[in-house]
A and B are shown apart, each in its own frame.
Chain A
């Protein structure tokens, strides 16, 4: 066992503080230490994107970040995006447009898609496919994922316009 270090982070708006070995991977911190099990482990080799979270405003693969690197950070996971009673527009769109089958990739997909739509609120199909290239789905064939993200973008843009 290596020496533990004192870690502080804000996850989905909640301050967390604990001791951990620096080598702990962020995905295990979230899932096993903090019981935030939305982000999944698909490959554990930085390829599939099932573990995607937002770290200090950027999409990252939590299986390829040491908890020590995330000390002092702000993290958002799928749990921080919507609640069962008040789903995020992307969650609504994935549900409406069959953007998921088994659902294993979905938390990573949706968490990544929130950042994609922040960076580019009105993406073309090609831009969606390119922007989602770090997330692999073995069920849907991606068609309905693209459709869902397009629909959510339209919905979010309409809501923004209505608010202005």
Chain B
């Protein structure tokens, strides 16, 4: 499996990346860890005449945990997320989710920026970031903007990022309450059959707020506001759980593939969401 040939660049700063993207337009693509892009290039499903490796670009690394929120540089790897104790304390759902992505070798290369920019519905971090209401920083030739994770995904591999923009960072407001990332997969290293990211705040014995996002059950991640709303004000009794699962079922649109037929995926999605809500509640 040999990919088509390409010109390789390893710029040292963002200006260098932006200049290459400007010069080569559609023919250029950035590469982070390469663990989604290289397999596609080997299969010749992606052709990249000009490949811009981000590994030496200054300013794209680093994990900052502040009083208001968290900033993850785009090139932070999944392994670095897992290893960072301050991060695990501030937003434990990040480590819990990252540990369910792929395997140790892949997590050493795969980055948060690549995972959220890729646009593959199978990626776990887009739904996770929607649950956490994260924002992505996009830097273009003469602009910098923030796009909410909840507004970023348009269709499979189609996102709000323009071709000449680089995703430089992910910022996350400090999550409150209990969390859970539940994922059903066929084996370790597999993409989700269904996954749920849940963050719940409990106040005075009832649910004050709930944020729910689902992965690999549509051609984009599904942030399901109605499912969260169904829990608010309740004590997470059966009726509230049933209502949340029903709202989620109305929002997803799974299709049949090698992970199973539609009915099976809907069944798994229900089981996974129930588990995630119950676990998040028990930690709230």
A binds B: yes
Within 8 A of A (CB), among B180-199: 188-189
Residue of chain A at shortest CB distance from B55: A69
**SS class of chain A's interface: helix, strand, loop or mixed?**
loop
Which listed residue (B4, B35, B108, B188) contacts A23, Cβ 8 A?
B4
For residue B53, which residues in chain A have a CB less than 8 angstroms away from its CB? Answer: 68-69
Within 8 A of B (CB), among A1-55: 1-3, 5, 21-23, 25, 44-47, 49, 52
Known: A2-B5, A45-B39. A134 touches B104 (CB 8 A): yes
In the bound complex, do residue B105 and residue A134 qualify as a contact, i.e. CB atoms below 8 Å apart?
yes
B8 interfacial by beta-carbon distance below 8 Å: yes
In the bound complex, do residue B189 and residue A134 qualify as a contact, i.e. CB atoms below 8 Å apart?
yes
For residue A146, which residues in chain B have a CB less than 8 angstroms away from its CB? Answer: none
A122 interfacial by beta-carbon distance below 8 Å: no
User: How many residue pairs bridge A and B at CB < 8 Å?
Assistant: 82
In the bound complex, do residue B109 and residue A65 qualify as a contact, i.e. CB atoms below 8 Å apart?
yes
- The bracket for how many chain B residues form the interface is 20 to 34
Please report the C-alpha to C-alpha distance between residue A2 and residue B48 in the assembled complex, in whole angstroms: 13
In the bound complex, do residue B106 and residue A61 qualify as a contact, i.e. CB atoms below 8 Å apart?
yes
Residue of chain A at shortest CB distance from B7: A3
In the bound complex, do residue A59 and residue B108 qualify as a contact, i.e. CB atoms below 8 Å apart?
yes
A121 interfacial by beta-carbon distance below 8 Å: no
For residue A68, which residues in chain B have a CB less than 8 angstroms away from its CB? Answer: 8, 10, 51, 53
B215 interfacial by beta-carbon distance below 8 Å: no
B2 interfacial by beta-carbon distance below 8 Å: yes
B92 interfacial by beta-carbon distance below 8 Å: no
Which listed residue (B34, B39, B51, B188) contacts A133, Cβ 8 A?
B188
A46-B35, A68-B8, A68-B10 given; name 10 further pairs at CB < 8 Å: A3-B5, A45-B1, A46-B39, A52-B105, A61-B106, A66-B8, A69-B34, A133-B189, A134-B104, A134-B189
Q: Give the interface of A toward B (CB within 8 A).
A: 1-3, 5, 21-23, 25, 44-47, 49, 52, 58-61, 64-66, 68-69, 71, 112, 116, 130-134
List 11 A–B pairs whose Cβ atoms lie within 8 Å, in order of A's numbering.
A23-B3, A23-B4, A23-B41, A44-B1, A46-B106, A49-B103, A60-B109, A64-B109, A65-B34, A66-B34, A69-B31
